[in-house]
Amino acid sequence: MAEQGVAQVWRRIRSIYNIQGNKCETCETYYFPPRPVCPTCRRKGKLEMYQFKGLGAIYSYAIVRQAPDDFKRQIPYVIAQVELDEGTRLTAQIVNVDPENVEIGMRVRSCFRKIKEFGPGGVIVYGYKFEPTMKVTGHEE
């Protein structure tokens, strides 16, 4: 029972790491995270696994200036809704850019970063984050 739980967690982590979702072949809609049933087509839907390319644009964002202890070292940081080129949105941290230079519509690509480490020498969880596809040059001061 416990082992089954661990396997499920790892399956979930793998799906997040790879930005794996699915695509309904019937209505050509992409989903992330993967859905068990297409909400539009229901039983007529034909869902296939789909590996997202990890390219998209910032749809909306917020600069986080207060965070729980685990994330304090990173503040301020940017959490954005990224609209993937396939047309679905997901929430992710935006890295490798000064928060002040983040803009709606900015092109981003997924990159993998360590998100959390559990204890010294413990389990490290990796996940997707996004970074600008072009180098962003800040304003001169």
The pair of structure tokens assigned to 52 is: 């997202």
User: Which C-beta is closer to Zn ion: that of 41 or that of 136?
Assistant: 41
| Binding footprint of Zn ion on the chain (CB under 5 A) | 24, 26-27, 38, 40-41, 45
With contact defined as beta carbons under 8 Å apart, do 93 and 79 qualify? yes
CA distance 100 to 118: 31
CB of 14 to Zn ion, least distance (A): 24
Q: Which of 70, 67, 113 is nearest to 92 (CA)?
A: 113
Alpha-helical segments (H) within the chain: 2-17
The pair of structure tokens assigned to 121 is: 């020498």
CB of 39 to Zn ion, least distance (A): 8
CB of 31 to Zn ion, least distance (A): 9
CB of 13 to Zn ion, least distance (A): 27
User: Which C-beta is closer to Zn ion: that of 8 or that of 40?
Assistant: 40
User: Which C-beta is closer to Zn ion: that of 45 or that of 99?
Assistant: 45
Q: Which of 133, 30, 39, 47 is nearest to 86 (CA)?
A: 30
User: Which C-beta is closer to Zn ion: that of 32 or that of 61?
Assistant: 32
